[in-house]
Amino acid sequence: MRTLILGLGNELAGDDAAGLLVARALREELAGRADVVESSLSGLALLEIFVGYDRAVVVDSVRTGRNPPGTITELALADVGRVSAPSLHHTGLPEVAAMAERLGLRFPAETRVLALEVVDPYTIGAELSEPVAATLGPLARRVRDQVERWAEQDGARARRRADGTRRIGARGERSCTTTAPSEPSSSG
Q: Which residues bind other proteins (CB under 8 A)?
A: 6, 8-13, 16, 39-48, 58, 60-66, 75, 77, 80-96, 98-99, 102-105, 113, 115, 121-126
Of 10 and 177, which has the nearer Cβ to other proteins? 10
Q: Measured between alpha carbons, how far is 102 from 18 in angstroms, rounded to an integer?
A: 32
SS3 of residue 14 by DSSP:
helix
Of 81 and 138, which has the nearer Cβ to other proteins? 81
Residue 178 dihedral angles phi and psi, to the nearest 5°: -80, -25
Angle at which helix 18-26 crosses helix 130-166, to 10 degrees, equals 50
- 110 neighbors 97 (Cβ within 8 angstroms): no
Q: Measured between alpha carbons, how far is 91 from 86 in angstroms, rounded to an integer?
A: 5
Enumerate the β-bridge partners of residue 182: none
Of 130, 138, 170, 99, the residue nearest 15 (C-alpha) = 130
CB of 77 to other proteins, least distance (A): 8
Enumerate the β-bridge partners of residue 96: none
CB of 141 to other proteins, least distance (A): 21
Of 126 and 133, which has the nearer Cβ to other proteins? 126
CB of 167 to other proteins, least distance (A): 42
Of 38 and 180, which has the nearer Cβ to other proteins? 38
Count Cβ neighbours within 10 Å for each residue of 79-110 and write b for 16 or more, e otherwise.
Answer: ebeeeeeeeeeebbbbbbbbbbeeeeeebbee
CB of 115 to other proteins, least distance (A): 7
CB of 98 to other proteins, least distance (A): 6
Of 105 and 151, which has the nearer Cβ to other proteins? 105
Of 64 and 182, which has the nearer Cβ to other proteins? 64
CB of 51 to other proteins, least distance (A): 9
